[in-house]
Structure 1
Amino acid sequence: MAEIEVQIQTTQHHHPTIFKKAKSPVTVRFEDVVYKIKTKKGGILKKKSKIEEKTILKGVTGMVLPGEMLAMLGPSGSGKTTLLTALGGRLGGHISGSITYNGKPFSNQLKRNTGFVTQDDVLYPHLTVTETLVFTALLRLPNTLTNQEKVTHAESVITQLGLTRCKNSIVGSQFLRGVSGGERKRVSIGQEMLINPSLLFLDEPTSGLDSTTAQRIVSTLRELANGGRTVLMTIHQPSSSIFYMFHKVLLLSEGHLLYFGKVAESMDYFAHIGYSPSVTMNPSDFLLDLANGVLSYDGREAEAVVKQTLVSAFRTNLADRLKAELREISGEVREGLEDKQSTKWTTTWWQQFSVLFRRGVKERKHETFDTLTVVQVLLVAFLSGLLWWQSGIAHIQEQMGLLFFYSGFWGFLPMLEAIYTFPQECMMLEKERSSGMYRLSSYFIARTVGDLPMVLVLPTVFVTITYWMGGLKPTAGNFLETLSVLLLHVLVSQSLGLAIGALIMDQKSATILGTVTLLLFTLVSGYYVQKLASFIAWFKYMSIHQYTYKLLLGSQYKPSDTYPCATTGTCLVGELPSIKLVGLDGQLISVVTLAMMLLSYRFIAYISLMRIGRTNK
């Protein structure tokens, strides 16, 4: 991170102007695009659920040329975001019709020249604007550029998008004060502009912004389009001044195309077919009223009739002409979009790991040693030390209780924290994986390695306090053995939490499942219930706690050790019923079993994450 900060300082007074022109102009052409999904009808009370097919896009046609900016308008549920996602190459499932880019299908090379800005700004809140863009540049820009040049690119984008004033401010979120909503949106756009995209897709870039900020955003996008880029965006009720910044407009209603053409000709077209506002109003508001089938100035026509009339009018007046225009450009193929690069990734695995690790540590350093967590652990440690104060082997049952408490407390805490890891990261992972930014393996290793300080330091502090206060064997060897066993236990419990979180991806459901699982592991581990019924006894072999408890007992006692007892004065530890049941043998097998659990749970977590961003595995 120090290296990055030095690089930033050396470039902050040097902003070369880049991205004046798109690298490879792209013509987007789509014809008769149909998209269907299957939905299940029927609830819990119904005996049979019926699978129905719903058509989201119903034969949408159009084209956008380099230097043009297209606005996709339509009410909620009209299919505009689905169309944008389909054109951006990110829509799974079966799409019929034709979508081409310079006459060719979507490819890996085109993906590297495509920027996609989602409606929600998926950003790390504790990183500054500069850090956000620099880390993105280091991950997305190819190795033909040095790290110094990548940082220079990031600084140039900051200047180009007017973010210089806030470049050292944290991005923030709805719960953390940071830059403004408009600045946050420009940071999202800046992340995509780093690759100097030929194609830029934006989903509701002005959503939630005031009119002045929205106008600045769209004005910036218009300048980008003027550089030869093809810009497509969905937008909700733009003002008149914003509406006329667009070159073309596409109007959808329930998946049907009502208009596609130049913005300047849109009002004349609807007036020609008999629909014009009776009062002066925002053109986009009027178009949305038409798409909803609502004519506020004339309530005599039913909504369904208006919509059907507009669909028929488009087919009669515009459809044939539009398809003729498509055929004129269908043979045109521009250079620059061949799959020249044989490699799928722009950076090496180690580069990706290194940047992701540094970014993760930078983002999560505020929570690595969260004050509340540290205070909680310290309070429990001192309280435990006082409760088991100098118990010694004379009170062997109490010592066994302390050892079992180790496994219980440090089973739940890391597991519950790990459960939240991937559900919280899901949107970021999906966004970055969809753009082909890094391998899943580099992300997974960097994420889990970066969490080790939080996972290992606090248990170490906890054992250091309670071990000596609790009167356990006062030798360095026994202490280190106990600590090693507990740290292995913590890592396995964390792995279980990661697996459950990645499998379910819902924090509430995952927490419930994780809690129930660990409770069962605790109950069958040999401390609470010492004689299990045969039909459930097998479950103890799946219990993390059972193996950890056995190892913790082995770290303190040997079968030949003695303790004071009422019958003969001294008794063998190995003959104590509660220890004999668990056993002091099989220590190596327990270590190997826990190690296998650690690897297995993490493998399950990794496999579960592969379903995120499937288009870029």
Structure 2
Amino acid sequence: MTTCQADLKLDFAAIQSKNDLTCANEAPLKASPQCPTQPLRTNQLNLTFADLNYRVRNGFFSKEKKNVLSNVSGDFRPGELTAIMGPSGAGKSTLMDILAGFTTSNVTGSILVNGQTRDLTAFRRTSAYIMQDDNLQSLLTVQEIMSVAANLKLDTSHSAKQEGVDVILREMGLDASRKTRTGNLSGGQKKRLAIALELISNPPIMFFDEPTSGLDSVTSRQCVGLLKSLAREGRTVVCTIHQPSAILFDMIDHLYVVAEGQCAYAGGAQNLLGFLQKLDLHCPTYHNPADFLLEIINGDYGDHLPRLIASSGNGCSQLWRGHGGSHDRRAKLPRMASSAPELAPKIPLPTTPVFYESQAKGSAYYATNSWSQLRILLWRNALRLSRDRVLTFTRLTMHFIIALLVGTIFYKIGQDAAYAIDNFNLLFFSMMFLMFSVFNATLITIPAELPILIREHFNRWYKLRSFYMANKLADLPVQVAATSTYALVVYQMSGQIPELNRLGLFVMMCVLVSLVAQTIGMILGTSLNVQNGVIFGPFAILPFMMFSGFFVHLNDAHPYLQWLFHMSFLKYGFEGVMVAIYGYDRPNMKCSKDYCHYISPKKLLKTVDMKNSEYWFSTLVLLGLYIALDLTAYFLLRLKLKQRLYR
């Protein structure tokens, strides 16, 4: 055990003694410093870390690694608003991600919770991470999104959930905005709503990444006042902040300064000037101490950073911690927030003690089971899709308008042998249109859903498979309706043979092609961002079109390239609609001209190398591809999520 680790353990023991933590009437589960045979029972969590290191590669092809964090240590306590401050690129967000459990790979060192080694699963059950971007469902109202969160995160009665939502909205100053869609909220309201969503589970430790980013000075002050109020109720509140104003700086209880991956100061914000004066660094009168410290770190007054790191013990030193000043500053908060009393909420921690030990695996990781999660998420997605004019109504309208246009161009040619080749072109265009329309829509929408998924999944709202199934099932009726609308209108206007079974086969094949294209779009949308997806997505889908059998027939291709045709899902879809229209012993067609070469449907199928094609074989291939690609999309999303959560 290092000296710093020993100091942190001793300091934690002092905190326990000060808070009068007792062992009376506790079950003997695990030893603790005060009760050797019993676990620590408290509704507060103290977070300490020692000798944290984090290394990343300099480049993708480089084997060399650089230190983002180097042997940093610290102690973040309940009841205090802790701010991690530092210049851009100093490592403050990286430290926050590691402490929150968002980053776990390439990390060495120890992280303790109430004096025990942190168990990540137990820790995530008792913590919340509010990220810099709000990532809210913009089409849902405040009441709706809070109800969804309550139903997912609480395992209580409906009345208890509603009562909890009412209390949080009232205390967070959002009661008057219940019926407002989140997309229409102001920046400060969105920030408060993001906090309110995580307060539903009432976690004892909360992390905030740049909570004042994008907010004006007044709203920033209100936001920090809100965080301070949450800490005053006994929570451990940790936030990153780049360069706080003098007012914001005065509201901070514990300041942790990161520079070049090391700790330049750890202690009370009110003790910073005394710390600097000990090093003969005197802050000018009326100068913001935070600005002065950043100027020192940036080298404006010389190279003093090594002295700062040494004096703070890289976060080990507790000399500048100070407790009296924080209590004095707490008294200032009501005056500072007097213009907006609703920003000083009273949402105390539950009186039930938090059992935090790695051996206690009995409590469920999620509050609700998979079926309940699926039901709630289905309702949310259905509500969102019903209000999304672009994703839902535009898709339906676009398919209908394009169908009318195509039907007008190819009007009543389906039963005339003189236009057999034109009908052949029509069927291929239909497959191509259905493929590209759903592929492009999915390619653009999936990246927009990822940030919401990351925030909610990391904060234990639901399992990934529940989210994935809910999205698939909610979007399925819209996709089937849009594809069927196009297929029915085109089939009728183009004058195809009026047989119900052929119509059903045609529509079903169109739907299958669109669903396979949708899963391909989901795979690429998960792998690429919107910009790269728009650029490289069409290049990924074009080979399926090139080897569909329309531009080059299978038997005309080089033998070494014929295997590529069998890899194209569009080939099977194209063969399926051709068989649905011209197969199954369809009688000879009428001819409106003196000579029609393809008066026999079989002759047309033979010319285009589809004489031996089977509709149901194509159906089975497309179904198999859909299932395989759907599983691939799910596991790719799972891998992507794991990499981003535990990178």
Query: Which TM-score bucket, shorter chain as reference?
Result: 0.7 to 0.9
Aligned match for 1:242, one of 244, 248, 253: 248
Contact 2:53 2:67 (C-alpha < 8 Å) held by counterparts:
yes
Q: Which string of whole-angstrom CA distances, capped at 9 and with x for unpartnered residues, describes residues 81-110 of structure 1?
A: 111111112113122222101112133233
Query: C-alpha displacement at 1:308, in angstroms?
Result: 2.3
Contact 1:26 1:101 (C-alpha < 8 Å) held by counterparts:
yes
Aligned match for 1:591, one of 619, 624, 631: 619
How is 1:16-35 mapped onto 2 (pairs within 5 angstroms)?
A: 24-35=43-54
Aligned match for 2:111, one of 96, 99, 114: 99
Contact 2:140 2:182 (C-alpha < 8 Å) held by counterparts:
yes
Within 2, Cα distance between the matches of 1:536 and 1:467? 34
- Structure 2 residue runs of 5 or longer lacking an equivalent are 1-40, 323-352
Contact 1:551 1:590 (C-alpha < 8 Å) held by counterparts:
yes
Give the aligned partner of residue 519 of structure 1. 542
Within 2, Cα distance between the matches of 1:538 and 1:462? 31
Give the aligned partner of residue 119 of structure 1. 132
Give the aligned partner of residue 173 of structure 2. 162
- Structure 1 residue runs of 5 or longer lacking an equivalent are 1-21, 42-48, 173-177, 296-300, 326-333
Within 2, Cα distance between the matches of 1:226 and 1:40? 43
How is 1:7-156 mapped onto 2 (pairs within 5 angstroms)?
A: 24-40=43-59, 50-104=62-116, 105-141=118-154, 143=155, 145-156=156-167
Q: Which string of whole-angstrom CA distances, capped at 9 and with x for unpartnered residues, describes residues 201-222 of structure 1?
A: 1111111212221111111221
Within 2, Cα distance between the matches of 1:605 and 1:222? 42
Give the aligned partner of residue 560 of structure 2. 535
Give the aligned partner of residue 287 of structure 2. 281
Contact 2:582 2:605 (C-alpha < 8 Å) held by counterparts:
no
RMSD between superposed Cα atoms in Å: 2.6
Aligned match for 1:382, one of 392, 395, 404: 404
Q: Secondary structure at the match of 2:152?
A: helix
Query: C-alpha displacement at 1:411, in angstroms?
Result: 1.2
Q: Which string of whole-angstrom CA distances, capped at 9 and with x for unpartnered residues, describes residues 434-480 of structure 1?
A: 12221111111101111113211122221222212111011222222
Relative to structure 1, the CA distance from residue 408 to residue 424 in structure 2 (aligned partners, 3 Å threshold; closer, same or farther) is same
Q: Secondary structure at the match of 1:78?
A: coil
Within 1, Cα distance between the matches of 2:213 and 2:599? 75
Aligned match for 1:269, one of 271, 275, 279: 275
Relative to structure 1, the CA distance from residue 568 to residue 522 in structure 2 (aligned partners, 3 Å threshold; closer, same or farther) is closer
Query: C-alpha displacement at 1:292, in angstroms?
Result: 1.9
TM-score under structure 1 normalisation?
Answer: 0.86
Give the aligned partner of residue 306 of structure 1. 304
Contact 2:254 2:321 (C-alpha < 8 Å) held by counterparts:
no
Relative to structure 1, the CA distance from residue 37 to residue 370 in structure 2 (aligned partners, 3 Å threshold; closer, same or farther) is same
Within 2, Cα distance between the matches of 1:320 and 1:397? 83
Q: Secondary structure at the match of 2:65?
A: strand
Query: C-alpha displacement at 1:512, in angstroms?
Result: 4.2
Q: Secondary structure at the match of 1:98?
A: strand
Aligned match for 1:554, one of 545, 570, 579: 579
Match for 2:528: what amino acid?
M
Q: Secondary structure at the match of 1:611?
A: helix
Q: Does 1:475 align with 2:487?
A: no
Q: Secondary structure at the match of 2:193?
A: helix
Within 1, Cα distance between the matches of 2:63 and 2:517? 40
Relative to structure 1, the CA distance from residue 65 to residue 313 in structure 2 (aligned partners, 3 Å threshold; closer, same or farther) is closer
Sequence identity percentage: 27
Relative to structure 1, the CA distance from residue 586 to residue 320 in structure 2 (aligned partners, 3 Å threshold; closer, same or farther) is same
Contact 2:267 2:321 (C-alpha < 8 Å) held by counterparts:
no
Query: C-alpha displacement at 1:324, in angstroms?
Result: 12
Match for 1:408: what amino acid?
M
Within 2, Cα distance between the matches of 1:278 and 1:494? 62
Higher deviation after alignment, 436-445 or 558-567: 558-567
Give the aligned partner of residue 367 of structure 1. 389
Contact 2:243 2:290 (C-alpha < 8 Å) held by counterparts:
yes
Relative to structure 1, the CA distance from residue 370 to residue 351 in structure 2 (aligned partners, 3 Å threshold; closer, same or farther) is closer
Match for 1:363: what amino acid?
R
Q: Does 1:207 align with 2:205?
A: no
Relative to structure 1, the CA distance from residue 157 to residue 350 in structure 2 (aligned partners, 3 Å threshold; closer, same or farther) is same
Within 2, Cα distance between the matches of 1:434 and 1:38? 25
How is 1:440-589 mapped onto 2 (pairs within 5 angstroms)?
A: 440-502=464-526, 504-530=527-553, 531-558=556-583, 559=585, 561-563=587-589, 571-576=599-604, 579=607, 581-583=609-611, 585-589=613-617
Q: Which string of whole-angstrom CA distances, capped at 9 and with x for unpartnered residues, describes residues 178-221 of structure 1?
A: 11111111011111111111101111111121222111111122
Within 2, Cα distance between the matches of 1:449 and 1:251? 48
Query: C-alpha displacement at 1:112, in angstroms?
Result: 1.6
Relative to structure 1, the CA distance from residue 585 to residue 64 in structure 2 (aligned partners, 3 Å threshold; closer, same or farther) is closer
Q: Which string of whole-angstrom CA distances, capped at 9 and with x for unpartnered residues, describes residues 39-81 of structure 1?
A: 228xxxxxxx543211111222221222111111111111111
Match for 1:611: what amino acid?
L
Higher deviation after alignment, 147-156 or 446-455: 147-156
Contact 1:547 1:590 (C-alpha < 8 Å) held by counterparts:
yes
Contact 1:24 1:337 (C-alpha < 8 Å) held by counterparts:
no
Within 2, Cα distance between the matches of 1:82 and 1:568? 72
Within 2, Cα distance between the matches of 1:183 and 1:243? 22
Relative to structure 1, the CA distance from residue 114 to residue 320 in structure 2 (aligned partners, 3 Å threshold; closer, same or farther) is closer
TM-score under structure 2 normalisation?
Answer: 0.82
Q: Secondary structure at the match of 2:420?
A: helix
Within 2, Cα distance between the matches of 1:279 and 1:323? 22
Q: Secondary structure at the match of 2:251?
A: coil
Query: C-alpha displacement at 1:248, in angstroms?
Result: 1.1
Within 2, Cα distance between the matches of 1:236 and 1:511? 34
Within 2, Cα distance between the matches of 1:211 and 1:517? 47
Match for 1:31: what amino acid?
A
Q: Secondary structure at the match of 1:576?
A: helix
